[in-house]
Amino acid sequence: MKAAHIITLLLWAFGIVNLFEPFNGWLYFVGLSIFYILLVAHLIECLVYRNKILKSQDSPFVAFSMTLLFGVVYLGSIKES
């Protein structure tokens, strides 16, 4: 697994853990911000790169899920045919 994948997963994990077991003080706001920024950014990427995602070799469900998780890191791995 690439470093970019690991970093993205760690950020998602930090944000999701903060949703279910909120941290104290400023760490709560940092975790909440990270979660919502990642969510909104990756949803926008799904909309903007919809055609590229649908043309990938993966099934649409897998491709959109990977884009939602990893964003441009996954999109960069899609081979243009």
pLDDT at 4: 87
pLDDT at 48: 95
Q: pLDDT, tens digit, for every residue of 17-65?
A: 999 999 999 999 999 999 999 999 999 999 999 999 999 998 999 999 9
What's the one-letter identity of residue 54?
L
Measured CA to CA, the distance from residue 41 to residue 19 in angstroms comes to 18
pTM comes to 0.84
Q: Which residues of 34-68 are buried (b: 16+ CB within 10 A; e: fewer)?
A: bbeebeeebeebbeebeeebeebebeeeebbebbb
pLDDT at residue 81, rounded to an integer: 60
What pLDDT was estimated at residue 78?
A: 84
Domain locations along the chain: 3-75
Three-state SS at 68: helix
